[in-house]
């Protein structure tokens, strides 16, 4: 079976995890601090704060910019459900706008119509590693004085051209960027996430909130020659990363350039192999974006049965995944306070739960797209097998 994804882990990660275990400090500690410094240096950010996963990173980011009960946050339904869930964790209301079909990212042309006096922030997504149109989003956000949070869960190592310079996602270009280290991502710590920002006050707030708002970090208590009593002045969370995870992360960062280079080679080869299959839609990489190719998505023609194609490939020994989910179609959102918006109207949706005219492109992407296997260790023979299985499934 050719899997959809496979993390690249070796003896270096095993040794690093072992060293953390032997140190006796296995929870959040000095290795987490080192990982934060190395990640910030890689993306070009002033601050980086490691947390337990990207969902908690998004939660903290939204809290930091002031999202609370009844506040609206503009985002996409076409994303893993954690994007919308993080808004609801703060008591906020997701305002869903549709996507650009070529990149699967938020359509900036629909953004301004969704903004009201209740809008507190914009939460854009760099879907499957493809950078969204940040310059246009930031221009609109700036005119309305709205903070922009980047859901960069999939976008470690992706790049965007800003003022004729190539810069890495996570610098950040908005106010806060949030990343994931889940095993499906480019590099992994098993679970884990990180926030980057240029705002030192927000960075300090992340650090307090991730550790129950403890007034004195445990690293300080344990190294003090005096007895220290901590206090808890506000409600916080247990969103910490462990030193074991961070040790793996430091080794994974060393591999990142090699991993991205290989994934770009594989994506280019997929394009060549798939070009001969009539009617199959290949992913689009704008000239201002460089994807890390966290996933390689292909769009089936109208009338192709997505599940049938996927089952045929599975029977041939090739795992696939359907197009990115749409949160508004899930039962958790069927009665939730949600606003769906587009250029022609705005309001609570009254469409059938599986067919929303305002989110047409999002739904088409979920229903027509399949994700092909892509991982560092994928060889030419396996890639040929994937393409052959897809060709047979479409016959």
Question: For 23-57, how does the pLDDT look when each residue is reduced to its tens digit (9 = 90+)?
Answer: 999 999 999 999 999 999 999 999 999 999 999 99
Question: For 189-247, how does the pLDDT look when each residue is reduced to its tens digit (9 = 90+)?
Answer: 999 999 999 999 999 999 999 999 998 877 777 777 788 788 888 999 999 999 999 99
Q: Is the pLDDT of residue 169 over 60?
A: yes
Name the pTM for this structure: 0.93
pLDDT for 339 = 65
Residue range of the domain that includes 338? 11-256+324-362
pLDDT for 220 = 74
Grouping H, G, I as helix, E, B as strand and the rest as coil, residue 341 is strand
Q: Is the pLDDT of residue 350 over 50?
A: no
Write a three-state SS string for 246-298.
HHHHHHHHHHHHHHHHHHHHHHHHHHHHHCCCCCCECCCCCCCEECCCCCEEE
pLDDT for 358 = 82
Which among 12-21, 296-305, 353-362 has the top mean pLDDT? 12-21
Helices (H), 24-93: 30-43, 54-64, 82-89
Grouping H, G, I as helix, E, B as strand and the rest as coil, residue 56 is helix
101 CB neighbour count, 10 Å cutoff: 18
Report residue 334's pLDDT band, with 50, 70 and 90 as the boundaries.
confident
Q: Is there a domain that residue 261 lies in?
A: no
Buried b (16+ CB within 10 A) or exposed e, 356-369: bebbebbbbbbbbb
Rounded mean pLDDT, 317-343: 81
CA–CA distance, 80 with 96 (Å, rounded to integer): 13
Q: Answer whether 366's CB lies under 8 Å from 79's CB.
A: no
Phi, psi of 116 (to 5 degrees): -135, -175
Question: For 289-303, how does the pLDDT look when each residue is reduced to its tens digit (9 = 90+)?
Answer: 999 999 999 999 877
Q: Is there a domain that residue 231 lies in?
A: yes
The CATH number covering residue 126 comes to: 3.40.640.10
pLDDT for 243 = 97
pLDDT for 191 = 96
Q: Is the pLDDT of residue 312 over 50?
A: yes
Q: Is there a domain that residue 277 lies in?
A: no
Q: Is the pLDDT of residue 347 over 60?
A: no
Distance of CA 345 to the CA centre of its chain: 28
Report the share of the chain in percent with pLDDT over 90. Answer: 84
Rounded mean pLDDT, 7-14: 98
Mean pLDDT across the chain: 93
Q: Is the pLDDT of residue 340 over 70?
A: no
Count of domains forming the chain: 1
Q: Answer whether 129's CB lies under 8 Å from 295's CB.
A: yes
Q: Is there a domain that residue 376 lies in?
A: no
Report residue 352's pLDDT band, with 50, 70 and 90 as the boundaries.
very low
Q: Is there a domain that residue 2 lies in?
A: no
What size, in residues, is the chain? 395
Q: Is the pLDDT of residue 149 over 50?
A: yes
Q: Is there a domain that residue 315 lies in?
A: no
Rounded mean pLDDT, 331-346: 62
Q: Is there a domain that residue 266 lies in?
A: no
Q: Is there a domain that residue 389 lies in?
A: no
Q: Is the pLDDT of residue 306 over 90?
A: yes
């Amino acid at each position: 079976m050719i899997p959809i994804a496979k993390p690249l882990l070796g003896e270096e990660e095993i040794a690093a995890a072992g060293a953390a275990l032997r140190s006796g400090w296995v929870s959040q500690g000095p290795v987490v601090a080192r990982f934060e410094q190395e990640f910030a240096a890689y993306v070009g950010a002033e601050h980086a704060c490691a947390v337990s996963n990207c969902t908690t990173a998004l939660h903290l980011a939204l809290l930091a910019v002031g999202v609370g009960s009844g506040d609206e946050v503009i985002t996409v339904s076409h994303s893993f459900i954690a994007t919308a869930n993080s808004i609801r964790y703060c008591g906020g209301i997701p305002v869903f706008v549709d996507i650009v079909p070529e990149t699967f990212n938020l359509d900036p042309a629909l953004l301004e119509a969704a903004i009201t006096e209740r809008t507190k922030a914009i939460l854009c997504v760099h879907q499957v590693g493809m950078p969204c149109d940040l310059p246009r989003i930031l221009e609109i956000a700036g005119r309305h004085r709205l903070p922009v949070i980047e859901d960069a869960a999939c976008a470690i190592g992706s790049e965007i051209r800003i003022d004729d310079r190539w810069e890495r996602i996570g610098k950040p270009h908005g106010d806060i960027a949030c990343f994931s280290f889940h095993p499906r991502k480019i590099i992994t710590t098993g679970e884990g996430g990180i926030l980057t920002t240029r705002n030192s006050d927000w960075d300090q707030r992340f650090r307090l909130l991730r550790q129950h708002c403890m007034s004195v970090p445990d690293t300080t208590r344990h190294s003090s020659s005096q007895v220290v009593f901590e206090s808890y002045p506000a409600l916080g969370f247990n969103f910490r990363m462990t030193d074991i995870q961070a040790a793996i992360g430091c080794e994974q960062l060393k591999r990142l350039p090699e991993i991205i280079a290989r994934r770009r080679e594989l994506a280019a080869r997929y394009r060549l192999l798939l070009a001969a299959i009539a009617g199959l839609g290949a992913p689009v990489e704008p000239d201002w974006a460089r994807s890390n190719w966290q996933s390689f998505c292909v769009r089936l023609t109208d009338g192709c049965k997505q599940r049938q194609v996927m089952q045929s490939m599975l029977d041939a020994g090739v795992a696939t995944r359907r197009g990115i989910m749409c949160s508004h179609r899930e039962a958790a959102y069927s009665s939730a306070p949600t606003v769906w918006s587009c250029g022609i109207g705005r309001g609570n949706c009254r469409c059938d739960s599986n067919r929303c005219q305002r989110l047409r492109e999002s739904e088409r992407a979920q229903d027509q797209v399949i994700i092909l296997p892509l991982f560092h260790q994928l060889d030419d023979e396996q890639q040929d097998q994937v393409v052959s299985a897809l060709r047979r499934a479409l016959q």
